[in-house]
């Protein structure tokens, strides 16, 4: 129960926000919405609102959906004339397929957009009311004959950037090293008022994270300490807080895309790739650290959900946006048969990924 309850809360929040993004733009452009579901399978409870939408919670809490009025495939405009014959003039105005291309695209994009906005709200609130760490790091110790020592780094070097990512806090040093997609990193330090850049190799070791989970960790053989021997956490104003929130989202996005690129080329360590079981485990562990840590995790999962849904894979929002791009270029939608072929490919990819991540989750539990 320590894992299940936090997991259900986390998934419910990020899925609700995602689906509400679709719902908001659908209602804005007067598309009929018959169902707003959190979860799949048998309905546990729900209610109907004044517009006729059924809001419901279902048995399997691993996603959700918004169902539009009268559309067997809510994102397909193929065979439009045949579909329109089934509806009156009044009902036709509520159909998704009758809306202009830009409106359909915004309705689809609304889900990922809502996830990114949730992350901005969370990070901005934390930076404004709790603060953001701006502790500048310096090298305290270096492992003799370790990668950093061989590269020429020295004790008391102040770390300025890693792979052109400016170091704003002491916590970012490990993050930028571990998220590097290469076996070498460029690390810029301040030494005797001079900025010097070194190229150093990284070394992968078996380690444990803060929760005791086994992980692969990259190190360069240094320990770090604050330059002033104390932490520097500042509460930010709204503009600065939003700026750093967007910057954090961009970093997560860039890092994720880099990792996906490494997976495609066969260079990434896929043993750390996880699915629902891993998310459930981590959400339970994070919840034990307190509300702030749990809310921060919600922000990161929300970013991941929004970004993954933008991948150009049929069945995901990005796949539907890809179809809209084809429609814009060709001047007509792809045929229903062609779309269904793409959907089968997308289903195969998603099921394969789900099975692979589940295997990883069970193997590392």
Residue-wise pLDDT tens digits, 138-160:
999 999 999 999 999 999 999 99
The pTM (predicted TM-score) of the whole model is 0.89
The whole-number average pLDDT for the span 360-364 is: 67
Helix, coil or strand: residue 55: strand
Q: Which residues contact 347 (CB under 8 A, 6 or more apart)?
A: 314, 315
Catalytic: 172? no
Give me the sign of the Cα torsion angle 174, 223, 169, 185.
negative
Q: Which two tokens stand for residue 219?
A: 């190190």
Distances (CA, A) of 145 to 138, 149, 222, 242, 323: 19, 6, 11, 42, 54
Asked whether residue 73 carries a pLDDT value surpassing 80, the answer given is no
Annotated catalytic residue within 19, 90, 172, 201: 19
Higher pLDDT, 207 or 287: 287
Residue 251 pLDDT greater than 70, yes or no: yes
Q: Which of 159, 148, 161, 250 is nearest to 199 (CA)?
A: 148
pLDDT at 268: 66
> What does pLDDT average to over the chain?
88
Per-residue confidence band for 260, with pLDDT thresholds at 50, 70 and 90:
confident
Residue 76 in this model has a pLDDT that exceeds 60: no
Question: CA-CA distance, 283 to 290, in Å (whole number)?
Answer: 11
Least confident piece of the model among 72-81, 102-111, 302-311: 72-81
What is the pLDDT averaged over residues 100-114?
A: 95
Q: What are phi and psi of 88, to 5 degrees?
A: -70, 170
**Distance of alpha carbon 93 from alpha carbon 251, whole angstroms:** 41
**Confidence bin at 211 (pLDDT 50/70/90):** low
pLDDT-derived band at 365, boundaries 50, 70, 90: low
Q: How many CB atoms sit inside 10 A of residue 109's CB? A: 21
Structure confidence at residue 74 (pLDDT): 45
Q: What is the pLDDT of residue 71?
A: 66
Query: Could you give the domains of the chain?
Result: 4-129+302-364 (no CATH), 132-234 (2.30.42.10)
Please tell me the least confidently modeled range out of 22-26, 263-267, 270-274: 270-274
**Over the stretch 28-47, which tens digit does the pLDDT of each residue have?**
999 999 999 999 999 999 99
309 or 92: whose pLDDT is higher? 309
- Report helix angle 291-308 to 4-28, nearest 10: 50
Helix then strand then coil, % of the chain, to nearest 5: 50, 20, 30
- Identify the residue with better confidence: 114 or 95: 114
Q: What is the pLDDT of residue 24?
A: 97
């Amino acid at each position: 129960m320590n894992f299940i309850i936090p997991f259900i809360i986390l998934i419910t929040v990020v899925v609700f926000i995602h689906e509400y993004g679709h719902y908001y733009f659908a209602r804005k452009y007067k598309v009929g919405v018959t169902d707003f579901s959190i979860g799949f399978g048998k309905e546990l409870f729900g209610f109907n609102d004044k517009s006729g939408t059924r809001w419901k919670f279902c048995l399997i809490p691993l996603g959700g959906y918004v169902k539009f009025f009268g559309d067997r495939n809510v994102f397909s405009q193929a065979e439009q004339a045949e579909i329109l014959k089934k509806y009156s003039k009044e009902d036709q105005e509520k159909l998704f397929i009758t809306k202009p291309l830009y409106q359909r695209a915004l309705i689809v994009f609304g889900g990922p957009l809502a996830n990114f906005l949730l992350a901005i709200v969370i990070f901005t609130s934390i930076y404004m009311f709790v603060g953001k760490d701006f502790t500048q790091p310096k090298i305290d110790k270096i492992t003799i004959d370790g990668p950093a020592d061989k590269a020429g780094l020295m004790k008391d070097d102040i770390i300025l950037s890693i792979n052109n990512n400016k170091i704003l806090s002491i916590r970012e040093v490990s993050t930028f090293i571990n998220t590097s997609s290469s076996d070498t990193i460029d690390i810029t330090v301040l030494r005797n008022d001079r900025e010097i850049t070194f190229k150093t190799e990284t070394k992968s070791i078996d380690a444990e994270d803060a929760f005791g989970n086994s992980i692969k960790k990259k190190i360069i053989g240094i320990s770090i300490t604050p330059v002033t021997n104390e932490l520097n956490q500042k509460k930010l104003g709204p503009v600065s807080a939003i700026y750093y929130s967007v910057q954090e989202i961009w970093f997560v996005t860039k890092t994720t895309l880099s990792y996906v690129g490494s997976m495609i080329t066969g260079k990434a360590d896929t043993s750390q790739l996880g699915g629902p079981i891993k998310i459930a485990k981590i959400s339970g562990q994070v919840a034990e650290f307190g509300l702030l840590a749990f809310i921060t995790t919600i922000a990161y999962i929300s970013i991941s959900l929004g970004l993954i849904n933008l991948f150009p894979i049929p069945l995901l929002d990005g796949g539907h946006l890809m179809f809209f791009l084809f429609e814009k270029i060709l001047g007509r939608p792809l045929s229903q048969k062609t779309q269904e072929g793409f959907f089968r490919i997308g289903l195969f990819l998603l099921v394969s990924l789900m099975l692979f991540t589940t295997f990883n989750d069970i193997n590392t539990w």
